[in-house]
Chains A and B, each alone.
Chain A
Amino acid sequence: MNLKESTNATWLFEITPKNKFFSLHLKEVWVYRDLLFLFVKRDIVTVYKQTILGPLWYFIQPLLTSLTFTIVFNNLAGISTGSVPPFLFNLASITVWNYFTACLNGTSNTFASNAGIFGKVYFPRIIAPLTVVLSNLIKFFIQLFIFLCFFIYYYSQDALVSFNSWTYFFPLVVILLGILGLGFGMIISALVTKYRDLTYLIGFGIQLLMYISAVFFPLDLIAVKMPKYAWLVQYNPLAYCIEATRYMLLSTGAFPFWGIVYTLFFSIAVLFIGLLLFNHTEKKFIDTV
């Protein structure tokens, strides 16, 4: 009996049919940190290989989108952005919005796009969605740099834009967006492994979501113009993140303090549910994907 116990104590790990209800494998993720780093590097380095414009594509996409928004929503539809130049207003919103959608899209494809590797070798599966969030963060910094260039240009042209003391908290908003993208992405990734229906939903779902996330209009505008449907935006944590971003970077609108507090709790809840579902799926997805 004693002998049996002594051998049992030396087991390094055990494979069982199901994961424990909630286990993060944080220790394991730490062991595989180099893999995370190398995956991020791979994503950054290889994405625009064999293209002529190369990394310039990181700049072109947000700039053209902002330009289009400015023409359509501000010039054509006449949405007022207050004293802030509409182009800068849109660029700020799109930069953070892009980060969220890139995280969401990337993580929701985790199982499908990594099926080849996942089917052949074990590493903590959570590495894959974390890679998406981190490599998109680097792309986000590149796009933020573009924004800053335009910010300086407009600032030198005496536009009414400025930073303020809340600007220091901008990284917090970015982290919240990353967590929301990761959380929602993991929920979707766990659900689509067996039933693919959601993949069709997510494509246009993100587009529709943009309209209720206050990307190209100030948050208070919808309350004034469409009070009946304002709740759609007011319950949307993304709207607060984007509104807060614009306040922090351009000093326009009002800082949605309670909105951000609400978003904080919301994102933690989403992340928790996401981890739970992901944890539940990761062991057997390879049989159903």
Chain B
Amino acid sequence: MKDIILKVENISKQYRLGTVGTGSLVHDLNRWWHQIRGKEDPYLKIGDTNDRSTKAESDYVWALQDINFEIERGEVIGIIGKNGAGKSTLLKILSRVTAPTTGSIKFGGRVASLLEVGTGFNGEMTGRENIYLNGAILGMTKKEITSKLDEIIEFSGCQRYIDTPVKRYSSGMYVRLAFAVAAFLEPEILIVDEVLAVGDAEFQKKAIGKMQDISKTGGRTVLFVSHNMAAVKSLCTRGIVMEHGKVKFDGGIDGALDAYQLNNSIEIETEYIGDNIIKRALLHTSNNSIKYKSDFKLDVFFESKNLIKNLVLGLVVKDINDVELIGVNNRHYQSDKINQQDVYKGYVSIFIKELNLFPGIYKIDLFLGDSTTDLEIVYEAIKFNILESFEYEVINSLNFKINKVFHENINWEYNS
């Protein structure tokens, strides 16, 4: 049986745009008039989807729309999405700071939320007093705090200043102390919003380590919102991708990261137009993508006012995480036609037979130079997609997180 600890059902959240004024009073009165006649709220029917960049057509906007998911005990979930996708609104509702407009959330355990470190810290009070105050705000009893006080102080690394008012602390110490309190919370469900983006590298590592402890050894459920993909990847087992107030993807963390990056950071561009020496680059594709193990053909058009001696044209193919996979130029290959050429203009075609990159998004940097220097470098000139194809099925079980390039000619020989 599934052990569901958190169940989100049809959560939506509507916000009113603009300022509060007489207009909102009129709306309030209208809403109240509908309510006493037992009718539905007239403003719930309208409202735009949450897309920050488009112009509003209605006074209301749905920050969240029909969110549904279930979380099992012990899962560590990363919530990712662009700014304004509704992540923070969702966390606010989950941590009971604000209520949803419709829907309900059921909890099977105690919740503590960390939307900010050091909530309620009072500058006039000492570090020790603030540990108590902040701990109590986060839902600990005085007894619990007293029993963990030494650990908290040690974890924060602020022993020397613990009886000094926190307004005298450096901002780093302040954050360390605040996170230390939160780290020793023992709720069944912990909600964390991007609080790790503070403190130095050492402390961030410590904080992530602590969070891993909480989820792995403590068996507690963690919901984690962050833009730090490395942190999300190392912490979470499952990811929820949000876009325009809706759940775009819900599943394994690797799939979620891919879905997020596919949607948000990369737009497929198979043609590059430039105004320097490289005028145009064109990748031959069908429907903006290349099938796995099909031919790769890239044309690069160039024109220069000065003579280019010994033309060198190179390209670097990178994967989505900017890992360089292929780096070649025409000098590496003997092709008399373009080697040792002194030219003003022309175009170079690069042809790779049966490109053996695995399905995914790739980027190409272009380099054009002469015998001594690079004349032009275009980073990420081309972004393309390799699609799954029939052959892909065969090598399906390879680990795509490690393997980007398929090597056909590997032999395994067993000797005894």
On whether A15 and B105 interact (CB within 8 A), knowing A35-B137, A194-B24, A284-B99, the answer reads yes
Which of the segments B109-117, B314-322, B335-343 contacts the partner chain?
B109-117
- The answer to whether the Cβ of B212 comes within 8 Å of any Cβ in the partner chain is no
Chain B residues near A288 (CB-CB < 8 A): 20
Please state if B124 and A49 are interface contacts (CB–CB under 8 Å): yes
Which of the segments B90-98, B259-267, B285-293 contacts the partner chain?
B90-98
Please state if A17 and B103 are interface contacts (CB–CB under 8 Å): yes
Which of the segments A75-83, A120-128, A254-262 contacts the partner chain?
A120-128
- The answer to whether the Cβ of B274 comes within 8 Å of any Cβ in the partner chain is no
Chain B: which residue is nearest A289 at the CB level? B20
- The answer to whether the Cβ of A119 comes within 8 Å of any Cβ in the partner chain is yes
Encode B109-138 as 1/0 by CB contact (under 8 A) with A.
111010110011010110001001100111
Bound together, the chains give a CA A38 to CA B138 distance in angstroms of 13
On whether A11 and B97 interact (CB within 8 A), knowing A49-B124, A117-B120, A195-B25, the answer reads no
Please state if A17 and B102 are interface contacts (CB–CB under 8 Å): yes
Shortest Cβ distance from B32 into chain A, in angstroms? 12
Chain A residues near B104 (CB-CB < 8 A): 14-17
Shortest Cβ distance from B119 into chain A, in angstroms? 4
- The answer to whether the Cβ of B100 comes within 8 Å of any Cβ in the partner chain is yes
On whether A119 and B97 interact (CB within 8 A), knowing A7-B4, A45-B125, the answer reads yes
Chain A residues near B101 (CB-CB < 8 A): 17
Chain A residues near B124 (CB-CB < 8 A): 45-46, 49-50
- The answer to whether the Cβ of B394 comes within 8 Å of any Cβ in the partner chain is no
Chain B residues near A34 (CB-CB < 8 A): 136, 140-142
Please state if A12 and B110 are interface contacts (CB–CB under 8 Å): yes
Chain A: which residue is nearest B15 at the CB level? A287
Chain B residues near A168 (CB-CB < 8 A): none
Please state if A46 and B120 are interface contacts (CB–CB under 8 Å): no
Please state if A121 and B20 are interface contacts (CB–CB under 8 Å): no
Chain B: which residue is nearest A49 at the CB level? B124
Chain B residues near A123 (CB-CB < 8 A): 137, 139
Chain A residues near B94 (CB-CB < 8 A): 15
Chain B: which residue is nearest A37 at the CB level? B142
- The answer to whether the Cβ of A32 comes within 8 Å of any Cβ in the partner chain is yes
Chain A: which residue is nearest B115 at the CB level? A120
Please state if A120 and B25 are interface contacts (CB–CB under 8 Å): no
Cβ < 8 Å to B, chain A residues 23-59: 31-32, 34-35, 37-39, 42, 45-46, 49-50
Shortest Cβ distance from B132 into chain A, in angstroms? 6
On whether A38 and B132 interact (CB within 8 A), knowing A14-B106, A194-B20, the answer reads yes
- The answer to whether the Cβ of A134 comes within 8 Å of any Cβ in the partner chain is no
Chain A residues near B102 (CB-CB < 8 A): 17
- The answer to whether the Cβ of A200 comes within 8 Å of any Cβ in the partner chain is no
Chain A: which residue is nearest B110 at the CB level? A12
Chain A: which residue is nearest B117 at the CB level? A120
Please state if B142 and A120 are interface contacts (CB–CB under 8 Å): no
Q: Which among B7, B106, B110 has the highest number of chain A CB atoms within 10 Å?
A: B106
Chain A residues near B392 (CB-CB < 8 A): none
For A18, give its contact among B25, B99, B122 (CB under 8 Å). Answer: B99
Cβ < 8 Å to B, chain A residues 4-22: 7-8, 10-18
Q: Which among A13, A16, A287 has the highest number of chain B CB atoms within 10 Å?
A: A287
Interface size class of B (residues with CB under 8 A): 35 or more
Number of residue pairs across A and B with beta carbons under 8 Å?
A: 108
Chain B: which residue is nearest A36 at the CB level? B136
Bound together, the chains give a CA A283 to CA B96 distance in angstroms of 8
- The answer to whether the Cβ of B1 comes within 8 Å of any Cβ in the partner chain is yes
- The answer to whether the Cβ of A97 comes within 8 Å of any Cβ in the partner chain is no
Chain A residues near B28 (CB-CB < 8 A): 194
- The answer to whether the Cβ of B172 comes within 8 Å of any Cβ in the partner chain is no
On whether A286 and B133 interact (CB within 8 A), knowing A15-B104, A46-B124, the answer reads no
Chain B residues near A11 (CB-CB < 8 A): 7, 106-108
Bound together, the chains give a CA A38 to CA B1 distance in angstroms of 42
Please state if A12 and B108 are interface contacts (CB–CB under 8 Å): yes
Chain B residues near A184 (CB-CB < 8 A): none
- The answer to whether the Cβ of A226 comes within 8 Å of any Cβ in the partner chain is no
Chain B residues near A194 (CB-CB < 8 A): 20, 24, 28
Please state if A10 and B133 are interface contacts (CB–CB under 8 Å): no
Chain A residues near B96 (CB-CB < 8 A): 15, 122
Please state if A15 and B93 are interface contacts (CB–CB under 8 Å): yes
Chain A residues near B136 (CB-CB < 8 A): 32, 34-35, 38
For A17, give its contact among B100, B115, B132, B137 (CB under 8 Å). Answer: B100
Chain A: which residue is nearest B12 at the CB level? A17
Bound together, the chains give a CA A124 to CA B85 distance in angstroms of 29
- The answer to whether the Cβ of A3 comes within 8 Å of any Cβ in the partner chain is yes
Bound together, the chains give a CA A17 to CA B11 distance in angstroms of 9
Chain B: which residue is nearest A196 at the CB level? B20
Chain B residues near A122 (CB-CB < 8 A): 95-97, 111, 113
On whether A17 and B97 interact (CB within 8 A), knowing A3-B1, A12-B107, A117-B120, the answer reads no
- The answer to whether the Cβ of A216 comes within 8 Å of any Cβ in the partner chain is no
For B98, give its contact among A18, A39, A283 (CB under 8 Å). Answer: A283
On whether A120 and B119 interact (CB within 8 A), knowing A15-B100, A35-B136, the answer reads yes
Chain B: which residue is nearest A121 at the CB level? B119
Bound together, the chains give a CA A14 to CA B118 distance in angstroms of 27
Please state if A286 and B125 are interface contacts (CB–CB under 8 Å): no
Please state if B99 and A15 are interface contacts (CB–CB under 8 Å): yes
Chain B residues near A15 (CB-CB < 8 A): 93-94, 96, 99-100, 104-107
Chain A: which residue is nearest B105 at the CB level? A15
Query: Residues on A close to B: CB < 8 A?
Result: 3, 7-8, 10-18, 31-32, 34-35, 37-39, 42, 45-46, 49-50, 116-123, 194-195, 283-284, 286-288
13 CB contacts below 8 A, A to B, read A11-B106, A13-B106, A15-B99, A16-B104, A18-B99, A32-B139, A38-B133, A45-B124, A120-B115, A121-B119, A122-B111, A194-B20, A286-B92
- Rank and list the top 5 A-B pairs by shortest CB-CB distance, nearest first: A122-B96, A283-B99, A35-B136, A15-B105, A34-B142
Query: Residues on B close to A: CB < 8 A?
Result: 1, 4, 7, 15, 20, 24-25, 28, 92-111, 113, 115-116, 119-120, 122, 124-125, 129, 132-133, 136-142
Taking A15-B107, A120-B97, A121-B116 as known contacts, 18 extra A-B pairs with beta carbons closer than 8 A to each other, sorted by chain A number, are: A14-B106, A15-B99, A15-B100, A15-B104, A32-B139, A34-B141, A42-B133, A45-B129, A46-B124, A46-B125, A50-B124, A120-B113, A121-B120, A195-B20, A283-B98, A284-B98, A284-B99, A286-B97
